[in-house]
Amino acid sequence: MKKQIILPALLAFGMALCVYAQSEADYQGWMKDIAATSGKARKAVASKSGADAAESAQHLEGIYKQVGEFFAKRGGADDAVQIAKKGEAAAHDLAAAGSANDADKMASSMQAINGTCGACHMAHRDGQPGAFKIK
């Protein structure tokens, strides 16, 4: 009787660990993607290339949405969820500004995106380059 209860419980626990590990790996990929895409967006904003800024911003908007969902599922990080939402909104604004080729709005939206990175890293990143962990 105990085997019938313990085995399914262990299997469920193992599956939960796999899902958690996958989410952690996804998160690391999103952070690298945000860094690379933000760099492209910054270059587009600096060169006043609205179309390129809009393209990068649309991609960033999707990543920020995933990051927000990640922290919402993780629990206990409401501030990170709000920061991700701010990033998502700023990316949306950048996409709109890029489509309109509004250089001033592109610059202010890019500044808002940049602000989300530092705020979240201060609160939720631990470790050294190459070995960062989520707090």
pLDDT (tens digit per residue) in 39-69 = 999 999 999 999 999 999 999 999 999 999 9
How far is it, in rounded angstroms, from Cα 127 to Cα 103?
37
Summarize the confidence of residues 77-93 as an average pLDDT. 97
Domains along the chain? 25-134 (1.20.120.10)
Query: What pLDDT, on a 0 to 100 scale, did the predictor assign at position 131?
Result: 80
Degrees to nearest 5, angle at CA 24 with 85 and 65: 20
For residue 131, what is the DSSP state? S
Q: Coil, strand, or helix at residue 5?
A: helix
Predicted TM-score (pTM) of the model is: 0.80
